Amino acid sequence: MIVTDKSNAGKSIVKEERISVFDIFKIGVGPSSSHTLGPWRAGQLFVELLKSATNLDKITSIKVNLFGSLAKTGKGHGTDLAVQLGLSGYDPVTMDTKQIDSIKNQISDNNKLIINGSNEIDFNPKTDIIFQMQKSLPFHPNALTFSATTDEDEEISETYYSVGGGFVIKEESQEEASPCVKLPFPVDHASDLLNWHQPTGMSISDLIYENEKVWRNEEEIRSELLNIWRVMKECIYAGCHNEGILSGGLNVKRRASSLSKKLLDGKEFSNHDEWINAIRSSGSGFKYTLDWLSCFALAVNEENASFSRVVTAPTNGSAGVIPAVLQYYLIFCSGTENDIIRFLLTASEIGCIFKKGATISAAMGGCQAEIGVSSAMAAAGLTEVSGGTVEQCLMAAEIAMEHHLGMTCDPVGGLVQIPCIERNTMGAIKAITASQLAMQSNPENAKVSLDNVVKTMWETALDMNFRYKETSEGGLAINIPISLSEC
């Protein structure tokens, strides 16, 4: 299979990459998949390396070097905290996120870190995590190196790259460790979906469902997809009921909760299902549904900015688009449980196509790689459950991305708040608009294919100035006169 090399050289290389829906949709902790979840996973991987190389009791010190974008926006994205949690043995899928602050304070107050919960070492986050602001490694802007010393003065080190969406690769491999599997319907480009559809008549979700059966049985696929949706909808609900100011120093006030209260106008409820029924019974006009779509997206990304549990879709910074669009469909279009499955399967494959042919890392491609991709994914998923053809699904994804091309990543203060939270609302409405356009169009008349847009997005990413690639050195990040009191 031919995919685009993710190095700055932009060459084409040949490699096999098979990605599951559960690789694209990961349960984790905010605020960033590439700057929080990826480094967290890298910390866990380094612990496994140490365990295979020596006894953890022999480790006397650990240092972490953060390079490129991880250094420049690492503080605002919680990269330093994430590596400490990973080294300590906590898992982002299962840990109680309410404990994060206390764990952080315990390490910093005592200058001690317990590796994998078993071996306590001296560790000062201020000196043992080094932010290499002026140095990047050539393969990818999101690089970090762990170095450990044993009681016999032996050094064990490893470099990892967080390449977007929570995917992590090691220095020596410089490619994802995807299992070498043979899928019944392998897909590398959007055109492959059409080529498989034509002889089989199968929808995108049907094709991807058959592929998923290589990894899991049917019951597991269904239950795990519904679990993904459970985390998404719980995140929406929490965000619509949590109030206050987001941490980090920008003093951004949460808006989803007050908007939810305003839209429901005093209606009472005691749980999620009653809340959904209250929303459904309170209106259905365009302005009303648009307000709720924005509310859902705001809710997810306000939770994401608070180190809460979210689903990477395909990244944390863009985690609100797909849940918002799917929640909109389930409430206002009477969607079913089967629609949830079909939506997520279809959306995930669009994300896979962008990851293989371009990037889902803002540090490589700007925000087009996050909000743009998530909007394209949501547009395709919505089109499928709305009765669209395979051709219309791909057209919807193309339209959504086409109108995100060139979008920069310029987080103010290195925080995933401004403009990131609002951008999820815009990505969601663009996804619905793209779907409606595609459903009312004949794809045979389209001049631009999804594969054209994927190629264009990658070329745009290569041409984009580094200041607009999650460095906080350009755009809004340098033009907003805000004093960061806590950063």
On whether the pTM is more than 0.85, the answer is: yes
C-alpha dist (Å) from residue 272 to 33, 53, 302 = 27, 48, 18
Helices (H), 305-361: 321-332, 337-357
Residues of the chain with CATH 3.30.1330.90: 33-170
Closest Cα partner for 428 from 381, 359, 460, 365?
A: 381
Distances (CA, A) of 235 to 301, 325, 415: 9, 14, 19
Amino acid in position 209: Y
What pLDDT shows up at residue 483? Answer: 58
User: In terms of DSSP H, where are the helices of 89-131?
Assistant: 100-110, 125-128
User: Which pLDDT value is given to residue 189?
Assistant: 97
CATH (residue range 33-170): 3.30.1330.90
pLDDT tens digits for range 181-191: 899 999 999 99
- Written as tens digits, the pLDDT of the chain (487 aa) is 233 344 443 333 324 679 999 999 999 999 999 999 999 999 999 999 999 999 999 999 999 999 999 999 999 999 999 999 999 999 999 999 999 999 999 999 999 999 999 999 999 999 999 999 999 999 999 999 999 999 999 999 999 999 999 999 998 765 544 556 899 999 999 999 999 999 999 999 999 999 999 999 999 999 999 999 999 999 999 999 999 999 999 999 999 999 999 999 999 999 999 999 999 999 989 999 999 999 999 999 999 999 999 999 999 999 999 999 999 999 999 899 999 999 999 999 999 999 999 999 999 999 999 999 999 999 999 999 999 999 999 999 999 999 999 999 999 999 999 999 999 999 999 999 999 999 999 999 999 999 999 999 999 999 999 999 999 999 999 998 775 543 3
Instruction: Give one DSSP letter per residue of 271-288, joined into a string.
Output: SHHHHHHHHHHT--SHHH
pLDDT of residue 481: 75
What is the phi/psi pair of residue 475, to 5°? 65, -140
Starting at the edge strand that comes first in sequence, how are the strands of the sheet with 129-132 ordered?
129-132, 59-68, 142-150, 155-164, 167-170
Looking at residue 171, its pLDDT comes to 80
DSSP string spanning 249-279?
Answer: SS-PBP-HHHHHHHHHTT---SSHHHHHHHH
Cis peptide bond upstream of 314, omega within 30: yes
CA distance 86 to 197: 42
DSSP 8-state assignment for residue 317: T
